[in-house]
Structures are given as structure tokens and as C-alpha cells.
Amino acid sequence: MTLPNFNELEKKFFEKIQGVQTLDETEAIRQEYLGRKGIFSALVDNLKALPPEEKQKTGKDVNTFKTMVLDRINQKKSEFELKALEETLKKDKIDWTLPSYPFMPGKSHPLTQVMGELTDIFQGMGFEIAEGPEIETDENNFGALNIPDGHPARDMHDTFYIHSATDDPGSKLILRTHTSPVQIRVMREQKPPVRIIAPGKVYRHEAVDATHSSVFHQIEGLVVDKNISFADLKGTLEMFTQRFFGKNVQTRFRPSYFPFVEPGVEVDISCTICHQKETHPHCPVCKGKGWLEMLGAGMVHPNVFKAVDYDPEVYTGFAFGIGIERVAMIRYGITDMRLFYENHLDFLSQF
């Protein structure tokens, strides 16, 4: 058989493509060349009869030619399409130059922003982020944290119980009432040293009002190693309050009780609204107390270490739990927590 004459083929193709007047005509040429029974399938069929050395070279030429044909056809098609669009636009009565409706770029919710800032601060101090599920076992949320069944501390943590067939605290499921069960999960997974924070949602059976919500957010912290002392706890939390609220903020540690720490404290900061100045009896945020309660903390209780198989004679540690809504309210002087959840843009777009 004779080899295809590419010069001839190309010349013919160019004559055709230059002559087309419409999109349909271009499509017809595409069919003629690239369709199933088109010129190219014939060329490829003919290749089969060639001796191997020529087959390779001619095959390449066929491909080059094909790419060229395809490019040219596509180019023609775009030309026609553009022309059609221009004509529609000309006929159209729409004024494309009218300004559009104002468009507000989205941003993260203030609670998400605060959560991000807190995690940044602690990550800067070398903490890693840990996570746990919102549906927890009774055992992780209470038992392993030294809050056995019937313990009065459970009263404050009434929650939503999820139906389970057994009474075994390891499989009884609840919505977690604090992020502290993440402490248990982490310690059961890894050996000391531990230095983690665990941000997330928590749930309690609360009547919703200006300062309570049945869903809210906490960030848990846990440090365990040899020779961790209360001084480390104080230093860490003071560093945190200064980074978050500013250098002039004072911190106060008050004795308090949480079953999973000993000793336990609540940490207050000096009121960031009235700064404990003369006007403070009327301060809307601290109500004249001059101090704002901010978080719970303490040294990890030996019973907690026993529950996770850490030797309390070898290791010590501290833990803290910060309410995200609380710190956000303090920082921005917000007096009603419900504003965070109602999702009015007037409120949210201020942050």
C-alpha cells in the first residue's frame, strides 16, 4: 500500500476548515475527520499493513496531524461560540455594568475564633491537641475521674443519658459533661510525659439562661511528668491569662473542690471591664466583686492515676478546664451567653 501523503491531506483540510461558515459545518468536518468512520480511523487501519519500521514513523506523523486538526477545529468552534455570545449580549436588555448586591465575606464564629486563640497560646507553650468523642462512657466521664456512682458531684453534672442495655459503667453512654474524660483517654493511650489540651463541646442538663446553656465549650489541659508541681500549674495559667487578656491582668487562685484533683482551685482574673477602679460597685460584668471566675484546675488526684495505671508515687501532674463561652464573654464584655447561639448577623459580624 502507499504511504499517506500528509502534505496533500493538510492542504485539503485547511481548504475545508477555512471555508466553514457555521458551528454545524465545523462539527461536520470534525465528524469527517475524527468520527468513528472518519479519515483518521482509516489512516490508523492502514497503518496495520505497514512494515514495523515504517509503521512507527508514519504512526507518529498521523498523530501530529491529528493534534493539529483537533486544535484547529476547536479554535474554529470557539470563534463561532464567542460570536454567538456577543450577538445574544447585544440583543439582551440587561445592563451588565450595574453594581451587584453587597457581598459580605464570611468569617468564623466568635467562639471558634476564641477557641483558635486559646489553642494557639497553649500550642506555643508546647501542648499538643487531643480529641475525644462527645458521646462518652459513664466510666470515662465520671468513674475514672474519681466520681463514683452516687457521688454528690454528679448532681452538678446531670446530663443526657443515652439508652444502653447494661448498667456496666464502661458501656453506659452519656453526653460528656466536661472535657475531662479526654484526660482518661489520653493517659490510657500513652505513657508520661503528657502535655495536651483538648478543646470541644460539652453537655449538661441546664435550664438555659444568660449564663447557662445545655451545650457549651471547654478546653481541657493536662500535664503529667516526674516533678510537676503546683508552681508549674500557676506559671502555665498565669502565662495563659496574660497572653489572652493582657499583661495588666491579675490572677487569683481560690481553693475549690473537684473530685479528680487535689488540691483543687478556681482561678479568677481581675475584672477586665472596670479594672477594679472606683466605679466598680456598679460594674455590669463583675457586679462589683472586682474578680471574674474563669476556670477550674488542680493537681491530678492519685485515684485518677490509679485508674489509668500510672504510678502516683512516680508521677505528678496538673489539669485545668476553661469554659470557652466564659472567656469570650469576659473578653468582649458580653452579659448574655444566648447571643452566641442565636446567630444574628448584627451580633456576629462585630467580631
How is residue 48 written as a grid cell?
Answer: 496495520
Question: Where is 302: in which H helix or E strand?
Answer: helix 302-307
User: Could you say whether residue 296 binds ligand PHE (CB under 6 A)?
Assistant: yes
17 binds ligand PHE (CB under 6 A): no
Establish if 320 lies at the interface with ligand PHE (CB under 6 A). Answer: yes
Minimum distance, C-beta of residue 96 to ligand PHE, in the bound complex (Å): 57
Kindly report each contact of residues 20-23 with a partner whose C-beta sits within 8 Å and lies 24 or more positions away, as own/partner: 20/76, 22/80, 23/77, 23/80, 23/81, 23/84
Segment holding 345, helix H or strand E: helix 345-348
Question: Using only C-alpha atoms, what is the Rg of the chain?
Answer: 36
Residue 228 near residue 316 (C-beta atoms within 8 A): yes
CB under 6 A: which stretch of 80-88, 99-107, 275-283, 314-322 binds ligand PHE?
A: 314-322
Judged by CB under 6 A, the chain residues 25 through 84 that form the site for ligand PHE are none
Q: Where would I find the H helices in 92-206?
A: 110-124, 138-141, 181-189
Count interface residues toward ligand PHE (CB under 6 A). Answer: 11
Kindly indicate which of the ranges 70-78, 164-172, 190-198, 292-300 contains the residues binding ligand PHE, using the contact rule CB under 6 A: 292-300
Q: Tell which one of 197, 249, 319, 329 touches ligand PHE (CB under 6 A).
A: 319
User: What is the enclosing helix (H) or strand (E) of 245?
Assistant: helix 230-245
Of the two residues 29 and 323, which places its CB atom closer to ligand PHE in the complex?
323
Nearest approach, Cβ of residue 245 and ligand PHE (Å): 19
The strand pair at 194-203 and 161-162 is best described as unpaired
What residues contact 133, with CB distance under 8 A and at least 6 apart?
A: 176
Q: Which is nearer to ligand PHE, 104 or 156 (CB)?
A: 156
Nearer to ligand PHE, 156 or 165 (CB): 156
Binding to ligand PHE (CB under 6 A) within 175-204 occurs at 178, 180
Near ligand PHE by CB under 6 A: residue from 258, 305, 315, 340: 258
In the complex, residue closest to ligand PHE by CB: 321
Q: Residue 319, Cβ neighbours under 10 Å: how many?
A: 25
Minimum distance of ligand PHE from residue 264's CB (angstroms): 6
List 187, 219, 269, 297, residue binding ligand PHE (CB under 6 A): 297
Taking the mean position of all CA atoms in its chain, how far away is CA 290?
A: 36
DSSP state of 344: -
| Interacting residues with ligand PHE (CB under 6 A) | 178, 180, 258, 261, 264, 296-298, 319-321
